[in-house]
Structures are given as structure tokens and as C-alpha cells.
Amino acid sequence: MKKIFFIIFLMGMIIGIILAGLYPNFQTYQQKRKNVISLMEETIYQETGAGNYKCCIDPPCRMCFLGNWIWEDGICECDTMIDQDKMDKVCPECIRGIKEGRCTSTKLSKGTCPILN
């Protein structure tokens, strides 16, 4: 009887090794999601540091990156809009971030964040 369990265990191991060989890049949805999010955040931070992603909150918004706001090509101009007092052009995620106290707007150096005034 013990022999049967050993054989089943061995078969499982062999099938596992074969599957791992056939699909070396297999990832679960959650693993893929985690990788995509961390790559996205890394890219946004790099572009923020390079001065190309002009966001006004920290951590920076994702909405502009994903192209879900008025800017094209995944850029963010929310901080520029705040500086020009065009609050209607600041993305909703940035507005929410400012309300949550995550404002890093360049206007901060001149006083306080615009919406909170």
C-alpha cells in the first residue's frame, strides 16, 4: 500500500518537472499583475526624475500614464496645469491625491497646494 503512494508521488514529481520544462515562463495572473505594476511604477518614477512626467503628487498618478486623461502618449502635465491655474485640466487621480495630502506641486514652494486653499 505504501508503494502506491510513493508511485503516485513520483508520478506527480515527473509531471511537475515536465510541465515546468514545457512552460518555463508560466506565471499566475497575480504574478503577472505584480510585475506589470512594479514595471509601471518604476517607469513613472524614472520619467518623473527625468522631468518628463510632470505629476503633482507622490506617489505619482497612474491615470495619465495609462492615457486615461487628456494627455497623449502617457505623459503627465498635471503640475504644469496647477502652475498655470488650470485646475480643470488636472486629472482626477491627482486631485484626489492632493486632497489626501500627497501634493508635491511646484506651487508648494510658493505657498500651499491650490485646491486646499
Q: Residue numbers of the site for Zn ion (CB under 5 A)?
A: 61, 64, 76, 78, 91, 94
CB atoms within 10 A of CB 55: 28
Indicate the residue among 78 and 103 with the shorter CB distance to Zn ion. 78
Distance in Å, CB of 63 to Zn ion, minimum? 6
Rounded to a whole number of angstroms, the CA Rg of the chain reads 24
* Residue where the block lists cell 491625491: 97
| Residues near 51 by beta carbon (within 8 Å), at least 6 away in sequence | none
Indicate the residue among 27 and 84 with the shorter CB distance to Zn ion. 84
Distance in Å, CB of 52 to Zn ion, minimum? 13
Indicate the residue among 94 and 113 with the shorter CB distance to Zn ion. 94
